[in-house]
Structure 1
Amino acid sequence: MPEAEPAGAGADGTDTFPAVCAHTHLFPGARCRVQGLSDPGAFAADPSPLDVDLRFSDGVLTAAQLRTGTPAGAVLVVPAYTTAAGTSVDGRTWRVRELLRAGDEVEIAVAGLLSP
Structure 2
Amino acid sequence: MPGPVPEPLPDPANDDPFPAECARTHLYAGARCLVRGLPDPAGFAAAPTAVGLALRFSDGVTTAAELLVSDRGDLALAVAAHTTAAGTPTAERLWGVRRTLPAEGGVELVIGRRQDQEPTGPRK
For normalisation by structure 2, the TM-score amounts to 0.80
> In the superposition, relative to structure 1, how do residues 71 and 90 fare at CA in structure 2: closer, same or farther (>3 Å)?
farther
Distance in 2 between residues matched to 1:78 and 1:14, nearest whole Å:
19
- 1:26 — aligned with what? 27
CA contact (8 A) 2:95 2:116 kept: no
Runs of 4+ off more than 2 Å: none
Alpha-carbon RMSD across the aligned residues, in angstroms, is 1.6
- The structure in which a higher percent of residues are strand is 1
Of structures 1 and 2, the larger Rg is shown by 2
CA contact (8 A) 2:93 2:116 kept: no
Letter in 1 for 2:70: G
Unmatched 5+ residue regions in structure 2? 1-10, 118-124
Does the residue aligned with 1:36 lie in a helix, a strand or coil?
A: coil
Shift of 1:42: 0.1
Aligned runs of 1:5-84 on 2, under 5 Å? 11-69=12-70, 73-84=74-85
Distance in 2 between residues matched to 1:65 and 1:115, nearest whole Å:
15
Q: How many aligned residue pairs are there?
A: 107
- 1:5 — aligned with what? none
- 1:97 — aligned with what? 98
For normalisation by structure 1, the TM-score amounts to 0.86
Does the residue aligned with 1:109 lie in a helix, a strand or coil?
A: strand
Q: Deviations over 1:15-51 (max 9, x none)?
A: 4100000011100111100000111000000010000
Unmatched 5+ residue regions in structure 1? 1-9
